[in-house]
Chains A and B, each alone.
Chain A
Amino acid sequence: MSHHWISLTLNGETIEAEVPANRLLSDFLRDQLALTGTKRGCETGVCGACSILIDGEVSKSCLSLAVQAHGKTITTVEGLAQGQALHVLQAAFMEHGGLQCGYCTPGFLIAAADLLSRNTSPDDAEIRKALSGNICRCTGYQGIVDAVRAAAENLNGT
């Protein structure tokens, strides 16, 4: 198996790493960099647990290879908070019951962050549509939708 050197910006820091050509990006993050906030739920691009932001857009990290991340800017769930200060979505998920077991949560936070970067005041239907690439088995989605709506309102000062 050939190996490649890649360099990328990860959660605000420039990193370099050597990766086997066939390593999945999700495995690279989790197993090589110990960023285990990115989850494995299906590894077939369906559940969204592995979602990350690549150059600001939501992407399922189980569907790409680590080498493809070369030169990109990546944000994982670990990169959402600023030090001790939670991202507005993280705080809203806590407050509005956006999580229970928490396994799907990193993926939903990332998908929601992507939505709010494109649409600052989504209605419920837009929220549901934007989150339709993620599966949560615990919440029935209501708490998640409530949380995203509240986060948007918070950002808009409404």
Chain B
Amino acid sequence: METSAIGQARPQINAREKVLGRARYAGDLKLAGMLHARLLRAPHAHARIVSVDTSAARALAGVRAVATGADVPDRRWGVGHKQQHVLARGVVRFVGEEVAAVVAETPEIAEEALDLIRVEYEELAPLLDPALSLDPGVPQVHEGGNLSEEINIDRGDVDAAFAGADLIHEETYTTHSQYPGYMEPMATLAEVDGAGRLNVWTSTQSVFLARQRLAEALDRPISSIRVIQPTVGGGFGGKIIEERSSVIAAFLATLVDRPVRLGLSRLDDILSGCFSVPATIRLKMGMTRDGTIVAKEVDILADCGAYAGLAGEVMTVTAMRSDNMQRIRNIRTRARLVYTHTMPRGAFRGFGGAQMSFALNSHMATMAEMLGLDVIELHRKNAIGPGETSVHDWKIGSCELPACLDQVSEAIGWGEKRSRAKAGGVLRRGVGMAAAMHVSGNRTIGNWDGSTILLKVNEDGRAVVHTGESDMGQGAFTMLAQICAETLGIPVAHVTVAAPDTDNSPYCIGTLASRVTINGGMAMVKAAEEARATILAAAAAKLGCDAEDLALVDGVIRSADGAHTAPLAEICRYHIYRHGGEGIYVKGSHDPQTVRFDGDFRGNIAPAYSFAAQAVEVEVDTETGQVRLVETYLSDDCGVAINPLAVHGQSNGAAVQALGWTLYEELHFEGGRVINGNLADYTMATADAVPMMHSMIVEGYEPNGPLGAKGASETAILPGAAAIANAVYDAIGVRITDLPITPEKILAGLAELEEASLA
């Protein structure tokens, strides 16, 4: 018998089909008569479309449809700002914007037809530098100016608090854009069926948000669209609601009476993918001599590129999330989001948290040194704790941040490594750390952060879970199956999770804001409890005893005294085959007791908050400027870990993604054009570039979470950059404040130090 379905490392329930190569991703799907689509992209950062001549493309044999901005619905789509047409109309605002599309019998014909489309552009001056965006006289990206959003937050008495501070430190940090880099480039298969409904199989983190967006962009009723989620090859935020290719593919399907597949090449995916929001952060902080943070002033300039998408929400996170990690009361923050004629930026794992985490943790390390304190002690001193309410009214439930700090400092040998004598020489080592928090769930998406599970228990006693929450590789389906099994009392192997499908799944928001484990998991607990009660009541009727005396364990119903027993299958059949019987089909819904922000960004938006700390050791080659990660220890406070294998996998993956952002990945532009839009030149770390990843879990218990769990994964990407920057400083005394940390910056920093020492 299984002891417990949770808490033990277990393979994902869909791992077998994946290792067999039989999991089906959107680009693997094929329907009879399927056509292929290809996209023509703008070569200019800013230009007026004077004319588009598609006649030669249309005339090519095998071409079924050619579309331009003139053919798409007038209605504009967008998250908050309704700014985009399905294909560019009138003006292009970034290099790579989709100007035309071809549907043809083969991908090769579609490619060939793209070359036959003649677009005449009138080039306009582009605005490429966000720092100039608000200057007078610069090119305007949209009517109404280049300022997309501005938020201002004022708490306490900042000026008085600074006046009373013993130490004030101010610094400006810059962070760059990161490509989500999911290994599956965006792919979509769409068709209008004989009944006139639009069926869309797409690589998405949310089928319901995808459907809503399609309804808006294609200007058709929501219920005329069905979105089905195939296996998803990673998302990392880039496949929520900002990518454009699924919208274009679905639109193209409405032009022809055959299915259309649009699978992006890697270059296409990079040009149209959603990179993270780059932000410049000026941070000023005041502390008393003992390290208590008394005041903070923040000024952020973030660049959303040509269209706002989710970038405004991302910037809000950059602006205020990390404030809640500490017991600070006096804060003044201004954050501005501006447009440029560059690719749209938006949601990415951590949702803006990584940008500020880099600034805050770099700052903490610097100020700790100025005060002669250990930075870990500084974190500990200021850390918020369980039961406390933060400056923005977040109610902290479980919080194991101090334990995370203990765990990483012990694992890396912090005290010893920090106090070792600095060796000279070419290769120099240093250690650094950082701490971070993230939400588990977020009510700011709308006035609902709920989740619903429909649970069916078949006549053989096995369960099918219907959910609209998506598994993009992170293991959500396995988590649901484990909670279902544990709560209902059946083996995990007896649970199937049906792929999200807007026709068959209950409405759910989908995978974002680390909300699925906590909210989907709670709905799962409720549904499984309901099913169990239904089953035990039926069993009591059949066995002639009280339901309270019965338990369902490992697929068998038993009374406490052992007098009554029945296999689950027998009871499930009995539930149907009797007068007035029916199959077992129950529902569990859970909407956490959270609130939306008020007009002043106050309010407890999430049912729980997750914390993490990371300590790293680096080696800096002072001749080449190369930084090598020698060791990393990441400790995650995710409440009860439903599946430790999944949590470690998420933490390790996040840590390497953070390492990539910090050291290796950098988008290069030339005149607004991405010049390294391929995986050879946009370098994501490979196995030989990273050391053994140590992931650790501090097990707490989250009272608002399912079986004590809260979200994991996003928190883990937050501390990496600052931990590395702090370790570099420890190694060579060079403080890098603008990411990424490149060999050039290291060498320049060393040269500056040398100059200063000679002066």
Contact = CB atoms under 8 A, between A and B. Distances in A.
B688 A43 contact: no
Contact of B19 (A105, A131, A132, A133): A105
Contact of A143 (B183, B474, B649): B649
A129 B687 CA distance: 7
A138 B678 contact: no
B340 to A, nearest CB: 27
A46 B181 CA distance: 13
Contact of B18 (A38, A97, A105, A140): A105
Chain B: number of interface residues, binned into ranges? 35 or more
A97 to B, nearest CB: 5
A41 B184 contact: yes
B121 interface: no
Please classify the interface of chain B as helix (H, G, I), strand (E, B), loop, or mixed, using the class held by over half of its residues: loop
Given A97-B645, A102-B233, A140-B655, A36 B21 contact: yes
Given A139-B652, A141-B652, A37 B687 contact: no
A153 to B, nearest CB: 17
Contact of B181 (A36, A76, A97, A137): A137
Interface in B24-83: 24-25, 27-28, 30
B687 A145 contact: yes
Contacts of A86: 16, 19-20
B679 A47 contact: yes
A101 B473 contact: yes
B21 A37 contact: yes
B649 A138 contact: yes
A101 B184 contact: yes
Nearest to B643: A97
Contact of A138 (B19, B21, B653): B653
Nearest to A101: B473
Among A80, A90, A101, A136, which residue has the most Cβ atoms of chain B within 10 A?
Answer: A101
A90 B20 contact: yes
A99 interface: yes
Interface in A35-81: 35-44, 46-47, 49, 76-78, 80-81
B715 interface: no
A142 interface: yes
B687 A141 contact: yes
A52 to B, nearest CB: 11
A129 B688 contact: yes
A19 interface: no
A101 B266 contact: no
B471 to A, nearest CB: 9
A12 B648 CA distance: 37
Contacts of B11: 94-95, 97
Given A100-B475, A101-B233, A131-B686, A142 B266 contact: no
A138 B473 contact: yes
B536 interface: no
B18 A128 contact: no
Nearest to B681: A46
Given A102-B233, A135-B684, A43 B20 contact: no
A124 to B, nearest CB: 7
B27 A132 contact: no
B473 A132 contact: no
Contact of A101 (B30, B183, B646, B686): B183
Given A39-B184, A47-B679, A140-B655, A102 B687 contact: no
Contact of B474 (A44, A100, A136): A100
Contacts of A145: 687, 692
B21 A78 contact: yes
Given A100-B473, A127-B687, A78 B649 contact: no
B27 A40 contact: yes
A-B complex: 9 closest residue pairs judged by Cβ atoms: A37-B21, A101-B473, A102-B18, A140-B652, A103-B233, A77-B21, A36-B28, A140-B656, A90-B19
Interface of B: 9, 11-12, 14-16, 18-25, 27-28, 30, 180-185, 231-234, 236, 263, 265-266, 472-475, 645-646, 648-657, 678-680, 684, 686-690, 692-693, 695
20 contacts: A30-B28, A39-B233, A40-B27, A46-B680, A47-B266, A77-B21, A96-B645, A97-B648, A100-B474, A100-B653, A101-B473, A103-B233, A104-B183, A124-B692, A135-B183, A136-B687, A138-B474, A141-B652, A141-B690, A145-B687
Given A46-B680, A142-B649, 11 more contacts: A34-B30, A44-B678, A44-B679, A94-B19, A97-B645, A103-B234, A106-B21, A135-B183, A136-B653, A138-B649, A140-B654
